Amino acid sequence: MEKIIITILISFLVNQVGFAQNTAPKQSLDSLMKEMQMVTEDEKAQLMARLIMIDEKVKKGELNVNDALDIKLLETDVTNLRIKRRMASYEQQMKDLINARLSGDEMTFELDKETYTNAEITIQESPKVEKVYGDRYMSEINSNAPSNQSNDESKSSETRIYKESRYIDQVVFAFGYNTLLDDGNTSDFSNTQINITQSRNYEFGLAWKYRIISNSNLLMLRYGVSYYRTHLSPRYEQIFQRDGNFTNLVTPLDDVAYSKFTNNYFIAPIHLEFDFSQRYMSRRSGKIYMRSQRGLRLGVGMYVGILASSTRQNIVYSENSRLSESKLKGDYNVSQFLYGTEANIGFREFSIRVKYDLSDLFANNPNRQNVASIGMRWDLK
């Protein structure tokens, strides 16, 4: 009888141990599943609170609809990334539990909740769009990135807004048509003594643009250096001729078929440009881009320059139905310094510009004569 009782007790203890081994992993798995569900619901609740806050700012007029949509997309991306990274640790715990169950080894696991609850997203009250688009998302993602993540993977996850450098290099090419205004009389732009279609200007140079607001293309400071060549072609068979300290248009005795008055300058323009390019999101990748010169542009500014070489005048004479050319080079009393104002309006790289020289073309003439021009410009990045 004693042997039977001992045998029953041993069998009962063995069964109890086996039952404990079978139920311990199951209870741990259930705990992990509940933790994962709580984390997901918590992140979604925080996301919903931030989306409601954004809608309230739209109603108050602190954000426009387009910016609010972009911010909501970013908030959703950040939340998805946070959930994915927090789930990674739970998934590893589940794999270890399953492997332990299959191997028959008894293992216990404890989750360090502080590791996953400290990284909370703080709802910021600043209504400024540039702050919301700026380092806020970068700092949140960096603070929650796991330490064992590779640099390349971390970098690809952190890049949410793709922006150009704050400094942009450009090659500038422009050309236009000139006229000469007496005493600043702009009403006679096309009725002057200058043949506008034959009087051209060319500009070639380098420019740099600086984004004044780090997270907006609206205000850009543009400056550079250029080589500027300008021609004036008089009408009515006239040429420019110096008479003492004055330079005037005269009609020579010989028949003039054509004449061209040329000056070369080195100039330094500086402008304030308003760039209305919009941020856009790639439908394929979901990434948001912020680039300049993707929309309407307006610019105003000024330029200063210096005469680079002696003035040259080419004159083509007509004698007995034969043409002969004379090239004259010298001092025509042209002002050594050039300065003026410029305005442009354009789309993308192309723009139409208007220039007006505030400096007189001739230094000592009694009446003021200023060059005005209209033309086209390309800003190539």
Whether this model's pTM surpasses 0.75: no
Please give the Cα distance from 87 to 256 (Å, whole number): 87
What value does the mean pLDDT take over residues 268-293? 81
pLDDT at 171: 96
Chain segment 290-328, per-residue pLDDT in tens: 788 889 999 999 999 999 998 999 999 888 778 888 899
pLDDT given at position 299: 97
Q: What are the phi and psi torsion angles at 65 (to 5°)?
A: -65, -40
pLDDT for 232 equals 95
Interval 336-364: pLDDT, tens: 999 999 999 999 999 999 999 999 999 98
- The beta strand positions in the chain, using DSSP E, are 161-163, 167-182, 200-211, 219-232, 239-243, 246-250, 256-275, 280-281, 288-290, 296-307, 311-319, 322-330, 337-347, 350-357, 369-380
Portion of the chain with pLDDT greater than 90, in percent? 35
- Residue 231: the pLDDT is 95
Helix, strand and coil content of the chain, in percent to the nearest 5, comes to 35, 40, 25
Q: What is the pLDDT of residue 134?
A: 37
Whether the per-residue pLDDT at 182 is higher than 80: the answer is yes
Task: Give dist(CA 182, CA 193) in Å, integer.
Answer: 10
> How confident is the model over 64-85, as pLDDT tens digits?
777 777 788 878 888 888 888 8
Spatial separation of the C-alpha atoms in residues 129 and 210, rounded to whole Å: 20
Q: What does the pLDDT look like over 95-131, one tens digit per residue?
A: 777 777 676 554 444 444 444 444 444 333 333 333 3
Q: Which two tokens stand for residue 181?
A: 């205004």
Residue 1 pLDDT: 45
Q: How far apart are alpha carbons 364 and 257 in whole angstroms?
A: 29
Q: Is residue 353 classed as helix, strand or coil in its secondary structure?
A: strand
d(C-alpha 104, C-alpha 92), whole Å:
18
> What is the C-alpha separation between 143 and 321, in angstroms, rounded?
85
In the structure, what pLDDT confidence band is assigned to residue 375 with cuts at 50, 70 and 90? very high
Mean pLDDT of 3-7: 44
